[in-house]
């Protein structure tokens, strides 16, 4: 796992947030990011499902070996972060399990419980690794990972519904789709439905509730430990606000907050 080859893109919200951390914590986060990116690439590489499943099994074995003090070369960058910050094996394994949900078959209209499990694995598990590196207290760190992970992942789902549908995926929950008369829809049929905005707005309201809980936790903890999650929450909220402002009528342009808005977030929540 060559860390330099898997750094977040310069200018991204994640890159900016990580640059706010002290060097040792920043390098630990880059190692976690490189791991997450590597297993995500397996889930999304478009190869046969059995091949992707086998590669994810190899990642599981590598994590187990890492915690047995026998690290494979591609996970050696995680040795120091695990020892220094007490990162848990089950959180790394949860990330792999989340990617496996995408790798084995395309997710289409999961029920609410499955969607929440997916969000926990692909986002909140990453959060649980991250908050230990940030230095948050245990209980509030776990709560923050729960709420911010779900807030960010639901935002991603709403931002990317058209791109996901092109790949045969639909992460909007089955129960909310059924409420507008959609049962067992194809992704393309669902996103073109005239009432799909009702579903997306309902999901957005859930994301907003998680953002509110995120800020409650952030605001009661020292700014030094919350600079990175503060910046991530503020930046992703811009994306949620942008999709809500754009609406859901076809055709939908992909949203991207302005550079000025993102700079304002960085100044307010990162540097100042």
pTM for the complete prediction?
Answer: 0.92
Question: How confident is residue 89, by pLDDT bands cut at 50, 70 and 90?
Answer: very high
The verdict on 23 and 128 lying in the same domain is no
Interacting residues of 266 by C-beta distance below 8 A, sequence separation 6+: 16, 231, 235
- CATH number of the domain encompassing residue 122: 1.10.600.10
The verdict on 177 and 65 lying in the same domain is no
Provide the CB-side half-sphere exposure for 223 (13 A, CA). Answer: 6
Number of structural domains the chain divides into:
2
The verdict on 25 and 67 lying in the same domain is yes
Question: How confident is residue 11, by pLDDT bands cut at 50, 70 and 90?
Answer: very low
- The whole-number pLDDT of residue 2 equals 39
Q: Which of 52, 77, 105 is the last residue of a domain?
A: 105
Of the given ranges (34-48, 92-106, 131-145), which has the lowest mean pLDDT? 34-48
pLDDT beyond 50 at 10: no
The verdict on 255 and 138 lying in the same domain is yes
Of the given ranges (7-11, 20-24, 163-167), which has the lowest mean pLDDT? 7-11
pLDDT beyond 70 at 13: no
Summarize the confidence of residues 142-171 as an average pLDDT. Answer: 97
The verdict on 92 and 159 lying in the same domain is no
The token pair at 220 is 């009661």
**Buried/exposed 93-125: b ≥16 CB within 10 Å, e otherwise:** bbbbbbbbbbbeeebbbbeeeebbbbbbbbbbb
Task: Give the chain's mean pLDDT.
Answer: 91
The verdict on 163 and 173 lying in the same domain is yes
The verdict on 147 and 48 lying in the same domain is no
Torsion 134-135-138-139 (CA) sign: negative
The verdict on 94 and 113 lying in the same domain is no
- The whole-number pLDDT of residue 270 equals 59
The verdict on 88 and 114 lying in the same domain is no
The beta-strand segments (E) located in 57-150 are none
242-272 tens-digit pLDDT: 999 999 998 899 988 777 777 777 777 655 5
Q: Which of 68, 86, 105 is the last residue of a domain?
A: 105
Query: In angstroms, rounded to a whole number, what is the distance separating the alpha carbons of residues 99 and 92?
Result: 11
Provide the CB-side half-sphere exposure for 256 (13 A, CA). Answer: 5
The verdict on 56 and 120 lying in the same domain is no
Q: Which of 105, 130, 149 is the last residue of a domain?
A: 105
Domain of residue 59 covers: 1-105
pLDDT beyond 70 at 104: yes
């Amino acid at each position: 796992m060559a860390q330099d080859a898997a750094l977040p893109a310069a200018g991204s919200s994640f890159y900016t947030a990580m640059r706010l951390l002290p060097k040792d914590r920043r390098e630990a986060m880059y190692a976690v990011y490189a791991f997450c990116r590597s297993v995500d690439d397996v889930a999304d590489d478009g190869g046969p499902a059995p091949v992707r499943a086998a590669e994810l099994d190899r990642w599981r074995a590598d994590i187990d070996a890492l915690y047995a003090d026998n690290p494979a070369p591609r996970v050696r960058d995680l040795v120091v972060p695990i020892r220094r910050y007490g990162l848990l094996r089950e959180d790394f394994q949860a990330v792999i399990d989340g990617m496996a949900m995408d790798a084995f078959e395309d997710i289409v209209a999961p029920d609410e419980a499955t969607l929440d499990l997916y969000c926990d694995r692909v986002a909140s598990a990453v959060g649980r690794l991250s908050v230990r590196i940030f230095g948050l207290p245990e209980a509030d760190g776990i709560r923050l990972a729960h709420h911010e992970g779900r807030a960010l992942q639901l935002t991603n789902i709403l931002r990317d519904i058209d791109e996901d549908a092109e790949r045969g995926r639909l992460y909007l929950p089955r129960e909310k789709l059924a409420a507008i008369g959609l049962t067992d829809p194809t992704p393309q049929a669902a996103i073109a439905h005239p009432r799909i905005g009702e579903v997306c707005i309902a999901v957005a309201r859930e994301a907003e509730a998680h953002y509110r809980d995120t800020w409650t936790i952030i605001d009661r903890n020292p700014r030094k430990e919350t600079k990175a999650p503060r910046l991530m929450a503020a930046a992703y909220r811009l994306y949620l606000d942008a999709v809500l402002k754009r609406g859901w009528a076809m055709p939908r342009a992909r949203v991207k907050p302005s550079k000025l808005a993102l700079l304002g977030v960085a100044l307010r929540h990162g540097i100042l």
